Amino acid sequence: MDLAFSSEDLAFRDDVRGFLRDHLPAGLARRESQGFHLSRGEVAEWQRCLYARGWVAPNWPQQFGGTGWNAIRKYIFDVECGIANAPEISLIALSMVGPVLCRFGSPELQQRFLDPILRGDLWFCQGFSEPQSGSDLASLRTRAVRDGDDYIVSGQKTWTTAAHMADYMICLCRTDAEVKPQAGLSMLLLPMDAPGVTVRPIATIDHEHTVNEVFLDDVRVSAANLVGEPNSGWQQARFLLGNERTHNAYVGMLKRHLLRIARLIDAAPARGASAVACAQFRRAHALLEIDIDALEWSALRVVAGEQGAALDAAASALKIRGSEYLLRAADLEMEILGREAAARFAPDDVAPLPAGADPLAVGRSTQYLYWRASTIFGGANEIQRSIIWNTLFRA
Amino acid sequence: MDFRPSQEQVLLRDSVRRYFEAAGDDAADEARDWRQFADFGWLAMPVSEADGGLDASLVDLAIVSEEIGAALAPAPFVVGAVLPARILARCPAGAARTAILAALADGTQRYALAAYEAPRRYELSSTATRAERAADGHYRISGSKTLVAGGAQADRLLVTAAIGADTRPALFIVDARAAGVRRRVYAAVDGLPVADFEFAAVDAGAPLAMPDAAPSALEAALDEATICLCAELIGGMDQAVQQTAAYLRLRKQFGRPLAEFQSLQHTVAEMSIEANSARSLLYRAIAAFGAGDVAQRVRAVAGCAIKTQQVAKWVCGTAVHLHGGIGMTCEYAVGRYLLRALVGERLLADREHQLARYLS
């Protein structure tokens, strides 16, 4: 066993920190730190910085523009970006669609899509979930019927993150209804400006616009936009969802919360919190920090390759705890803020703060409400617990 | 960074595991086990090479401890070997220290730390036990110590006592059968023996460490012992989880195995996540020890202890629950893992004490 980062890994971390310090725009980091969702335009500037440095796509093979980092370096980069309040850039295009195209796409699709994705010129949304297909994804009903050189797609997608900002949807649809559900699915790159595509925002309890319903009414998509072979969509979807096993641990984001909680606690006495309350806040912060340390070292064990056959179970455990701790962190922030946390804040450059409010209060309730989704998305936590049982204990 | 055990570490784990598979966990065989530990070289592991030992890494010590926890072995490896050896490693070197450690390593003398006192809870930075210098130049110790783990079997005791006006402890070595020593042996919750000691002007010779060095030596050695105690609890938790899953697959109610009920599956999944979280903090604590920064070490060890103690009680308690009535019986091992967890969470330091260190 060697339980320390190598000196090369530590030098790499310093390199990443230096880059973030020198290049991450302060205004962007500040907006991101508040926890509101950023627009495509706001994120574009950061993507250009990363593109110039060659760091835009850590998850891609190097010959397609990836960084060539091993899993530990990808992890270090991810965590440092989280701590520094760097926004996540076009996660679906870069972490999901890109790796799938590199692995399964035709040279023609790779030629058309990969470089524009790296540059931030093409944004994607993920067309997986449907009204009747949530956790049971393989039951989805959106159909794609071959018609000459095209597919005609009809159906409805939902919970589609960023559909209102996307150029394309990576659309999982049924191309064969006669075989078992998993064997009849295909993946299409569906242009969002095609006739028959209707995007309708879903109003969510956090009052942010992140998810949408997408109606697909006889949308004509060129068969050239099919990823890989027909009816191999399930395999591709599994690859895509398994691509970022430690991402859902949210270690960088959780460390960002811990730093903010410490600042909120420091400010609490001057804002009227009693000694008893402050002692309780410090205690809760310590216990959360310990749990997040455990999560971080569990993630390191996964990226350093310890887990072997139990990798699926380990990844599920990271997702469960990562999401639970996000909620716990956001909840603790609201608890420390007290009355102020009852206000619904807009970003502070959009609307002035309520009188006397702590600037750190901005976005706290929004983020708490958004993190409620984290136990649901990416495979609900109950699905993850079943994966753990089936992987480790079913026998 | 590499979390895979080396070839030697795999062999060590296997040899400890094989020993207990053959030897069983009967407390009556404890003295035999200890002699075997000495023969296998396990008692020499925490002793430094300069004192004739094997100078094993914390990872290796944790591996042995984990297997002892998994086997519910009665021999007090952590408090009877690791803790005294690591305290002595931080005392001034010399012929006396080397002789003590040689006797510890070959199993001819058994040692225990007699430091905790009834009114002081976990506080070891001061002591009410007194050491007075007599006319012959020897120190005489008077005072009392409670719940000494490994004290029932100990031939010699590492005793903390204050000299003169100083309330900080110096460290002495005392023959557990010397004139003026009263030992009362009784059982802890897990059935293993502990002892109370009263010292009435007992001859303790010269101090092993003076008050300027003894407290930090104690604290660092206790951190190493705490890491090993956590490993012991983790070994026990992993067994409790596996045994529970096996029981659920076997036991049928309503015409089908309990393992088919999702609420039970998910509870076992939670148990395994928690046990594995403790293991992650164990690795982090060992890494922090290697890095050498004291404040970081204290936080990492305290964090590991807080989490491990908390989850050990929950995991083992839930294992009892999922076994139903049979889990409450002495016959089944799961209940004994819970008993070990209950002692383990308060023997060296409890959650509140570690949290205070973490926040200091």
- A221: CB partners within 8 A, 6+ apart: A144, A150, A151, A152, A153, A171, A188, A189, A190, A191, A194
Inter-axis angle of helices B214-250 and B58-71, to 10 degrees?
40
pLDDT digits (tens, 9 = 90+) for B269-281: 999 999 999 999 9
Please check whether residue A382 touches B, CB under 8 A: yes
A8-14: long-range pairs with CB below 8 Å, 24+: A9/A72, A9/A73, A9/A76, A9/B1, A12/A73, A12/A76, A13/A76, A13/A80
Say yes or no for a CB contact (<8 Å) between B281 and A314.
no
Q: What is the largest CA-CA distance in chain B?
A: 80
Q: Is the pLDDT of residue A240 over 90?
A: no
**Which of B125, B220, B208 minimizes the C-alpha distance to B159?**
B208
**For chain B, where are the alpha helices, taking DSSP H only?**
7-23, 30-40, 58-71, 77, 83-89, 95-105, 214-250, 262-291, 294-323, 333-344, 351-359
pLDDT digits (tens, 9 = 90+) for B10-33: 999 999 999 999 988 888 899 999
Q: Is B337 exposed, middle or buried (0-12, 13-18, 19+ CB in 10 A)?
A: buried
Domains annotated for chain A, with CATH where assigned, are 7-89 (no CATH), 124-232 (2.40.110.10), 245-393 (1.20.140.10)
B97 or A245: which leads in pLDDT: B97
Say yes or no for a CB contact (<8 Å) between B1 and A72.
yes
Q: Which two tokens stand for residue B149?
A: 């783990």
Mean pLDDT of B339-353: 95
DSSP per-residue letters across B46-92 = TS-GGGTS----HHHHHHHHHHHHHHT--S-HIIIIIHHHHHHHTSP
Mean pLDDT of A118-138: 93
> What is the C-alpha to C-alpha distance for residues B231 and A225, in angstroms, rounded to an integer?
54
Residue A243: pLDDT band with limits 50, 70, 90: low
Domains annotated for chain B, with CATH where assigned, are 7-105 (1.10.540), 111-210 (2.40.110.10), 215-359 (1.20.140.10)
Interface test with A, best of B7, B273, B283 (most A CBs within 10 A): B273
Mean pLDDT of B179-198: 97
Please check whether residue A324 touches B, CB under 8 A: no
Q: Is the pLDDT of residue A247 over 80?
A: no
Residue A244: pLDDT band with limits 50, 70, 90: low
pLDDT digits (tens, 9 = 90+) for A321-342: 999 999 999 999 999 999 989 8
pLDDT on residue B342: 97
* B window 128-147, beta carbon within 8 A of A: none
Number of C-beta neighbours around residue A192 at 10 A: 20
**Which of A159, A166, A157, A156 minimizes the C-alpha distance to A210?**
A159
Number of cross-chain residue pairs from A and B with Cβ atoms under 8 Å apart: 114
Q: Is the pLDDT of residue B358 over 90?
A: yes
Mean pLDDT of B217-223: 97
In contact, B160 and B143? CB cutoff 8 Å: no
Q: Which percentage of chain B shows pLDDT scores above 70?
A: 100
> What is the C-alpha to C-alpha distance for residues A35 and A345, in angstroms, rounded to an integer?
11
- Amino acid identity, residue A134? G
> What is the C-alpha to C-alpha distance for residues B235 and B207, in angstroms, rounded to an integer?
37
Q: Is the pLDDT of residue A308 over 70?
A: no
Say yes or no for a CB contact (<8 Å) between A304 and B2.
yes
Q: What is the mean pLDDT of chain B?
A: 96
C-alpha distances (whole Å) from B17 to each of B8, B23, B31, B146 are 14, 10, 18, 32
Q: Which two tokens stand for residue A300?
A: 């390191």
pLDDT on residue A351: 80
Backbone angles phi, psi at B3, to 5 degrees: -95, 5
Q: Is the pLDDT of residue A245 over 70?
A: no
- Amino acid identity, residue B39? D
Which residues pair with residue B205 across a beta bridge? Answer: B139
Which residues pair with residue A156 across a beta bridge? Answer: A215
pTM: 0.95
Backbone angles phi, psi at A49, to 5 degrees: -60, -50
> What is the C-alpha to C-alpha distance for residues B357 and B306, in angstroms, rounded to an integer?
11
| Strand ranges inside chain A, DSSP E | 124-127, 143-147, 150-157, 168-174, 185-191, 197-201, 212-222
User: Which residue is catalytic, options A32, A130, A244, A333?
Assistant: A244
pLDDT digits (tens, 9 = 90+) for A15-45: 999 999 999 999 999 999 998 888 888 899 9
Please give the DSSP secondary-structure letter assigned to residue A87: P
Whether A244 is catalytic: yes
Q: What is the largest CA-CA distance in chain A?
A: 74
Residue B195: its H or E element: strand B193-205
Mean pLDDT of B223-238: 98
C-alpha distances (whole Å) from B108 to each of A189, B81, B347 are 75, 12, 26
pLDDT on residue A46: 94
Mean pLDDT of A54-59: 94
pLDDT digits (tens, 9 = 90+) for A175-229: 999 999 999 999 999 999 999 999 999 999 999 999 999 999 999 999 999 999 9
Q: Which percentage of chain A shows pLDDT scores above 90?
A: 80
pLDDT on residue A299: 94
**Which of A206, A108, A116, A119 minimizes the C-alpha distance to A161?**
A206
pLDDT digits (tens, 9 = 90+) for A83-127: 999 998 888 899 899 999 999 999 999 999 999 999 999 999 999
Residue A310: pLDDT band with limits 50, 70, 90: confident
Q: Is the pLDDT of residue A129 over 80?
A: yes
Say yes or no for a CB contact (<8 Å) between A393 and B268.
yes
pLDDT on residue A216: 98
Q: Three-state DSSP class for A185?
A: strand
pLDDT on residue A312: 85
Q: What is the mean pLDDT of chain A?
A: 93
